Structure 1
Amino acid sequence: MALPTIILLLLVVLFFSSNATQPPRTLHIPVLHRDAAFPPAPGATSPISLRLHAADATHYTVQLASSLHSTTITDDQQLRSPVVSGLPFDSGEYFATVGVGDPPTRALVVIDTGSDLIWLQCAPCRRCYRQLTPLYDPRRSSTTTHRRIPCSSPRCRGVLRYPGCDARTGGCVYTVVYGDGSSSTGDLATDRLVVFPDDDGIAHHNVTLGCGHDNGGLFESAAGLLGVGRGKLSFPTQVADTYGRVFSYCLGDRMSRNTSTSYLVFGRAPEPPSMAFTPLRTNPRRPSLYYVDMVGFSVGGERVAGLASDSSLALDAATGRGGVVVDSGTAISRFAVDAYAAVRDAFDARAAAGGMRKVDDNFSVFDACYDVYGYGGGHPKVRVPSIVLHFAGGADMALPPANYLVPVVGGDRRTHFCLGFQAADDGLNVLGNVQQQGFGVVFDVERGRIGFAPNGCSA
């Protein structure tokens, strides 16, 4: 979770099917939608059903469904982007269900490629936010599983960025602060981490994690965080002896309840033929993050020109500037100001030619929003310019419209669609989870590459 952003709450739940004492070489984890665990409140506004169909190689046609209250999700592979009332993306992380301790306490934790430490809220709490699963109390766990790490341990002084020491107990104290201001402080410990298929589970012993007694920020509902970055304390690194330094996921449609084919996999899985790879870069100033180089954009089938500096999208290892971070913990992608402005202006020109009327008002962080209603009282068709992200090594991401058109509801209760990117003025470009949804994404540290495959959830 590297950056502040407005985001939509989604759920990722992990399930393994294997013998608890013999973990498989590859762990495959289906994903369920948040509504499976958090049903919408009675009387909540129903989504607006929107169908997006490919019209040609460079544009898409948007057809508003005749029923504005349709919530049916079918298996016909149509791409649907429902609209909810209120500002979208109030919270947008994906979650995993794990168990901690013995007997295990189940916990929903955010899956975050932008950080390393695994932590969860623990009793006794000095400051804890509301979570939807039971609070973990290490005092009720077996003393053979939960053990505090001493201040003198290399896992304290040699790994933590800001190590502390409890003078009373001699135990290591961690503090993590995220880009959006969220934070956690507590005891660094080793414990038993379990992932459940049903009542049984695959247990990993002596996993280093944080037991947070002072927590706050934008982790509402989550019990903590599962760091899957590149650092020594991340989950992939800690289980690399079993599964290798490679994992993959497909983050399903953030609004659809039909996400049973989404997944998270640790270990090397078969790669679909459509998988395209780009080199994985390392930033010495931020070594835990997964960096790639972008080489440009196409809008409406034409390469975007007029960028003040293409180098803003490529990593300068000497300065730590540039490059693009692939981050599951950020929702909306952010690009350097000049790159964002060039893409926005190219999209705006082609959107106008396709019948999309730009509205004067801005919605939250979005400054390019469009009205597709009000043309003679019917349900209009408009042509939506296509967007392709180009990465070094020839890897392209041709984004479906739902990955860059964000539906918002204005004060007049009219629904508009905004270009779902942001300008980044801090030198940190990020490929967020809204743009990644539906793609199979492989983080292959062993071979120094990251791969993208369209329709990855179905694959």
Structure 2
Amino acid sequence: MASCLFFFLLLATTLTTFTTSRPHVPKPKGLVIKLIHSDHAIVPKYFQPEAKAKLEPTNYYSGPLLFINFQIGQPPVQQFAVMDTGSNLLWVDCAGCRQCRRRAINRAIYDPSHSSTYTSIQCDDQRCIDISANGECSPTGQCFYNKRNYARGSMSSGLIATEQLTFGPIHEGIAEEITVVSGMVFGCSSDSQSLPDSKFNGIFGLSNRSYTISAFGSKFSYCIGDITDKDYGYNLLILGEEANFEGFTTPIDIQYSGHYYLSLQSVTVGNSNTYINPNGMWSKSAVMDTGTSGLWLVSGLYTEFRIKIVAFMEDLGLNSTTDESRKLCYHGNFTTEPVNSQLTNVHTIASLHFANGADLDLEVKSLFYNTNKGTFCLDVNPSITEEVTIIGLRAQQSYNVGYDLIGRMLYLQFRECAALFP
């Protein structure tokens, strides 16, 4: 607690010259962002301080994620933040943060005291009230967010402020594609603990309460083409008026938390109309969450789904095994022979059916991942909550997903993301 107090007092002392009011700068109507695979060579390598090496293991952020590469401040400092539709805040680690376990090699951590475009937000500011439910204040009267919880105990806390963000270009070397956005609300993290993936240094929140979304209006879309290939170059996020709205629609229930809830009506496995407990007692609430890679089904649904997947694969001549974490696995690699031949004629293994007739069809790559042990395993898990099914990145591959927050509709379209690339 003493170190947190020191952090806030230090910022208040060093940032006095950067908290004056600024003229309003119109924000762009839209922004196109090329998403970066978490294992891509461009992502800096990190080391973990020895004192922080023994953290509880977690599977929530296991598997690939998609990063948004941008620069913050002036002079600009490069960031890699997770695109997360389940979070309502954009935040990055700041210099002096307590218990940060990620440190970049050969790369500076953002220091707000060195930025001429940093502006603090006071506790009585409406933006502070919106983000920090209790309107919490630092000892110097600056707004801060406290214990913004993520999966399984992960958290971040720090000051709320505004900064200049620089994005692009999406085509290398084209300066005209660089977009500078002033006055973006963000969290300057003074404490980020137990975040399982050491490759990122922040979260790019896209929930309905995020000021990132409101800065560009009320629309956004993303296309997830392939997360099995770290060099795939067409994963795309579009913020604002240019968002792609095509395909089938299903209503969005936007909660006070900002999360986007969908109504999952039923699930089928295989090409038959074998419905999994369509009138059962399991919760039908679901969210599309880009902050995790797996599919997390409420327990009753998960149990039946796993049983039917085993039967479906047995019909193809594939017998299951389990790994040390009791995941359902199969011998071989689903992209090579002989397994590839057994799956060649299978386009859809399972489908998630939402209200209004929108379907999310799941291919082999949407459900399974290849391991380095000569097996491929099902990336479907029992949900960490009994109230909601969480649909991660893997299940969203080959889909463009559009969010119309005014119309409260989600658009789903199976398509090749390269066709959307400008």
Aligned structure 1 segments of 4 or more residues deviating by more than 6 angstroms: none
How is 1:5-404 mapped onto 2 (pairs within 5 angstroms)?
25-33=29-37, 34-38=39-43, 90-132=62-104, 133-142=107-116, 145-167=117-139, 169-175=140-146, 176-197=148-169, 201-218=178-195, 219-231=197-209, 233-237=210-214, 239-240=215-216, 244-269=217-242, 271=244, 275-284=247-256, 287-305=257-275, 307=277, 309-310=279-280, 312-314=282-284, 323-359=285-321, 361-364=322-325, 366=327, 368-372=328-332, 379=338, 381-383=341-343, 386-404=349-367
Deviation, structure 1 residue 153: 2.3
Deviations 1:349-403 (A, max 9, x none): 12112100122x344362x322359xxxx83543467211111111112222111
Quick check: 1:98–1:196 contact (8 Å CA) kept in 2? yes
SS at match of 2:418: coil
Q: Secondary structure at the match of 1:106?
A: strand
Any conservation in 2 of the 1:246–1:443 contact (CA below 8 Å)?
Answer: yes
Could you report, residue by residue, the CA deviation over 1:40-96 in whole angstroms, capped at 9, with x for unpaired residues?
Answer: 99xxxxxxxxxxxxxxxxxxxxxxxxxxxxxxxxxxxxxxxxxxxxx9974532111
Q: CA offsets per residue over residues 204-246 of structure 1, 9 Å max, x none? A: 2222211112222224121211111111x43112x13xxx211
TM-score, normalised to structure 1's length? 0.72
Query: How high is the sequence identity, in percent, across the aligned residues?
Result: 27
**SS of the residue aligned with 1:35?**
coil
Where does structure 1 lack aligned partners over 5 or more consecutive residues?
Answer: 1-20, 42-86, 315-322
Distance 1:234 1:433, change over 3 A: farther
**Is 2:382 the counterpart of 1:405?**
no
Paired letter, 2:360: M
Contact 2:62-2:293 within 8 A present in 1 as well: no
Contact 1:295 1:313 survives alignment (8 Å)? no
CA RMSD of aligned residues (A): 2.8
Q: Aligned AA for 1:442? A: G
The residue identity in structure 1 corresponding to 2:289 is: D
Query: Which digits, 9 at most, give the CA deviation of each residue in 1:402-436, with x for residues without a partner?
Result: 11122234xxx4x2222221122532211111111
Paired with 2:63 and 2:371, the residues of 1 have a C-alpha distance of 15
Structure 1 CA distance for aligned equivalents of residues 303 and 90 of structure 2: 37
* Alignment gaps of 5+ in structure 2: 1-24, 47-58
Question: Equivalents in 2 of 1:403, 1:117: separation in Å?
Answer: 28
Distance 1:416 1:309, change over 3 A: farther
Shift in Å, 1:271:
4.5
For normalisation by structure 2, the TM-score amounts to 0.78
Tell me whether 1:450 sits opposite 2:410 in the alignment.
Answer: yes
How many pairs does the alignment contain? Answer: 365
Q: Give the whole-Å Cα distance in 2 for the aligned partners of 1:207 and 1:96.
A: 15
Query: Does the 8 Å CA contact 1:304/1:346 hold for their aligned counterparts?
Result: no
The question of whether the paired residues in 2 share the 8 Å contact of 1:328 and 1:433 is answered with yes
